[in-house]
Amino acid sequence: MYAVIKTGGKQYRVAAGEKIKVEQIPADVGSKITLDQVLLVGEGESVRIGTPMVAGATVIASVLAHGRHDKVKIFKMRRRKHYQKHQGHRQNYTEIVIDEISA
């Protein structure tokens, strides 16, 4: 069984037992979270597509860790204008493992 969930403005295809990194969620490490924005649920040949969400479908996940991604370097430059700008960014994430998908 798999599902397509929406969290943090992004969509993820998940299955039970998978580990994924999503945008930061304010939850303690080891706690269980319920993701109720389920867009699609599929099992074998049968697929339920929501309009926009599947009614009554939830995904239960456990929080494994919080962290930060690698640094992304931003460099802006205008040639012949003596303009250069250096900037860096590290995005926070929450690593979760999918425990169960209930439709």
Summarize pLDDT for 46-103 with one digit per residue, the tens.
Answer: 999 999 999 999 999 999 999 999 999 999 999 999 999 999 999 999 999 999 999 8
Report pLDDT for 103.
85
Sole residue written with tokens 């802006």? 76
Q: Looking up tokens 């269980």, which residue turns up?
A: 32
Q: Per-residue pLDDT averaged across 30-45, rounded?
A: 95
What is the domain extent for residue 82?
2-102
Q: How many domains would you assign to the chain?
A: 1
The mean per-residue pLDDT over the stretch 2-19 comes to 97
Going by C-beta distance under 8 Å and a sequence separation of 6 or more, which residues neighbour residue 89? 71, 72, 74
At 3 the pLDDT is: 97
Nearest to 27 by CA among 35, 38, 16: 35
Predicted TM-score of the model (pTM): 0.86
Q: What is the dihedral of CA 71, 76, 79, 84, to 10 degrees?
A: -90
User: What's the pLDDT tens digit per position in 20-31?
Assistant: 999 999 999 999
